[in-house]
A and B are shown apart, each in its own frame.
Chain A
Amino acid sequence: MSGPRTLFEKIWDSHVIEEQEDGTCLLYIDRHLVHEVTSPQAFEGLRQSGRRVRRPDATLAVPDHNLPTTDRSKGIADETSRIQVETLQKNCAEFGIPLFDALDIRQGIVHVIGPEQGFTLPGTTIVCGDSHTSTHGAFGALAFGIGTSEVEHVLATQTLLQKRPKTMRIRVEGELPLGVTAKDVILAIIGKIGTAGGTGHVIEYAGEVVRGLSMEGRMTVCNMSIEAGARAGLVAPDDKTYAYLAGRPMAPKGALWEQAVAYWRTLPSDEGARYDREVVLDASEIEPLVTWGTSPQDVAPISGRVPDPAAETDPQRRAAMERALAYMGLEPGTPIAEIRIDTVFIGSCTNGRIEDLRAVAKIVEGRRVAPHVRALVVPGSGLVKHQAEEEGIDRILLDAGFEWREPGCSMCLAMNPDKLSPGERCASTSNRNFEGRQGKGGRTHLVSPAMAAAAAIEGRFTDVREFL
């Protein structure tokens, strides 16, 4: 292999078992995360073909999508949800796969527990039947979501058939203004390149701002790569990455750790490596953002207004905007800061980690949630919840009028009982504002944890910078 290579190319090249003439590669998969929703049909397929799981030791399972976030000690009331979670239990027992079950303190959203356990490691290929697998790219891993047929393929063979994607580097340069967070950075990126802007590409996030982000912040950015169309997004590993992973239960220890870190240090992109596409953002121009429509690319600064479809020249796009505004119950020209909300949801694989909960606590400490607002905090994992309780964050949130729930995906996609009602308007720290995503007829505005906290207090969107 000659010439300078990107981080992505180094990982890809080291995982190709065989390349066919047409460029289709048989790619080795180092880590496979499994949850209850996209796996039952895959295990069923294995059973029907009499196949085994090739590497149970490289596989980790957890239920997250269906679990209620209220007391679980008596099981799951919804029968179909219960059957799906029980099916995961049975499949893991039958095929010898480690499982963090509903009452295990290590249970949580699959993309929160992977890093938390040190299951996620730099330089690896990581897959899961979930599009937000891109989250793990924050550790310098090539991590992407797959469908159930591919889940079965990985279970049986520990490989996938893939074509080499294109590369895109997004540099965020300068300094983030006060009150602007990792969530605003990724929303700004999606707003700029569009929801299909990264299709066919793997994105490497780079630049001063990305280097300056915490591991939690990098996970937030990589998490929403798929909302920009890219199956994977990654950040070069550095000392922050190693400090986060050191001592995690599934991370290497002792001499193996030293050996691993020495290898990981060779991963960052070489000087002069080329990308198929480059995008640069000036951080100083990013404001706290709020989505107004039903696609994550529909972003507006908190100081801005709901846009007017009449200004859009492409008829299909204009129709999409009109439909979005009708669904969202918004008039063109309305100041974002005048939009009243009914509900606040803090959580998800985008923003359900300890740093996110700290950011919320910082805003709401000593304040009260507006009387008409229902405010929910769903920690990303049992360990995040435990740590927050150790730090007294739960008290601050409860005193402010938030509900403090059990971990899971919850209202991000409303497969459990946490749902919006038709017309209910929500400031959400999750990742998708699609029609019906948080419940049929529900209206989702994507924001950062700090912006969601400020909205909870005021009962409408407001500039979080006034709280700092």
Chain B
Amino acid sequence: MQPFRRLEGIAAPLPMVNVDTDKIIPAHWLKTIKRTGLGVGLFETLRYREDGSENPDFVLNREPWRRARILIAGENFGCGSSREHAPWALLDFGIRCVIAPSFADIFFNNCFKNGILPIVLPRETVDALMAEAETSPEPVFTIDLERQLILRPSGNAPVRFEVDPFKRHCLLEGLDDIGLTLKKAHEIEAYEEALRREKPWLFRPAA
């Protein structure tokens, strides 16, 4: 995974609540057996018109937001399915940070596994950042994960954000969870041995 330390980029405002994973990436894109190439399907129904041409009203089709690396959205972003294709699509488009008042749990987790930083902030703060993203001539924000700060294009006071310390550590270092867990192989084995004794019904011969 690519480490996430400091991200400088344009932020796009998406003032919608309950943006679900079907909206982020419709189900027909889920037939892929790869992680890449999903950026073109990101927000498909919002981004394209019936004939396949770009919808000029959608924020990610307009300058400067079509170059967005940060998304600012309404509450409960990413609700719905567990599809990791949603963060894969964001990443493939170039977005590595989503700011919202709240996220759905599975999507939130999936982001961290892919080097995307989801930031939860109070609704008023999100609204203020969203307004800046919409009105600043060059809405470039800097996300500083080391200092846990968002630097704003307006020059207003930076916004401090909270992040789980372990998840922050993994993002900063670009760590692979599986590699970390496999260092605990002895502990897992010991647990399994005890489990075989205490709950033998959980083990069955391979079919």
Residues of A within 8 A of B (CB): 17-18, 20, 22, 24, 26, 28, 30, 37-38, 40-41, 44-45, 49, 51, 54, 56-58, 65-66, 78, 80-81, 83-84, 87, 96, 98, 121, 123-124, 129-131, 133, 145-150, 152-153, 156-159, 161, 163, 165, 195-196, 199-200, 226, 229-231, 250, 252, 256-257, 259-260, 263, 295, 316-317, 319-320, 323, 413-415, 432, 434-437, 440
Contact = CB atoms under 8 A, between A and B. Distances in A.
B188 A157 contact: yes
A130 B27 contact: no
Given A147-B109, A159-B188, A435 B45 contact: yes
A434 B200 contact: no
Contact of A149 (B34, B113, B180): B113
B9 to A, nearest CB: 24
A163 B74 CA distance: 24
A414 B105 CA distance: 24
Interface string B32-55: 111100000000010000000000
Contact of B32 (A80, A150, A157): A80
A376 to B, nearest CB: 17
B154 interface: no
Contact of A158 (B109, B188, B204): B188
B206 A250 contact: no
Contacts of B81: 130-131, 145, 413
A229 B104 contact: yes
Given A17-B191, A147-B83, A435-B45, A413 B104 contact: no
Interface string B173-185: 0000110111010
Interface residues of B, number: 59
B57 interface: no
Listed from nearest, the 4 A-B pairs whose CB atoms lie closest are A252-B201, A149-B113, A40-B33, A147-B110
A41 B33 CA distance: 6
Contacts of B80: 131, 226, 432, 434
29 contacts: A22-B165, A26-B184, A26-B187, A26-B188, A30-B202, A37-B30, A38-B82, A66-B31, A131-B81, A147-B82, A147-B106, A149-B84, A153-B177, A157-B181, A159-B181, A159-B184, A161-B177, A196-B76, A196-B102, A252-B201, A256-B200, A256-B201, A316-B74, A414-B28, A415-B27, A415-B31, A432-B22, A435-B45, A436-B26
A461 to B, nearest CB: 23
B80 to A, nearest CB: 6
A436 B45 contact: yes
Interface string B1-29: 00000000000000111101011001110
B195 to A, nearest CB: 7
A121 B204 CA distance: 13
A435 B204 contact: no
Contact of B26 (A153, A165, A440): A440
A434 B20 contact: yes
Contacts of A124: 202
Interface of B: 15-18, 20, 22-23, 26-28, 30-35, 45, 74-76, 79-84, 87, 102-106, 109-110, 113-114, 164-166, 177-178, 180-182, 184, 187-188, 191-192, 195, 199-207
B196 to A, nearest CB: 12
B206 A56 contact: yes
B27 A152 contact: no
Contacts of B102: 196, 199
A435 B20 CA distance: 9
A417 B75 CA distance: 33
Contact of B35 (A41, A83, A199): A41
Given A163-B164, A195-B76, A129 B82 contact: yes
Contact of A98 (B16, B31, B76, B206): B206
A30 B201 CA distance: 11
B178 A51 contact: yes
Chain B CB count within 10 A is highest, among A54, A157, A163, for A157
A266 to B, nearest CB: 12
Contacts of B180: 161
A149 B109 CA distance: 10
Contacts of B35: 41, 148
B76 A146 contact: no
Contacts of A320: 16-18
Nearest to B205: A57
Given A131-B82, A163-B164, A256-B201, A149 B18 contact: no
Contacts of B82: 38, 129-131, 133, 145-147
Contact of A145 (B22, B106, B165, B199): B106
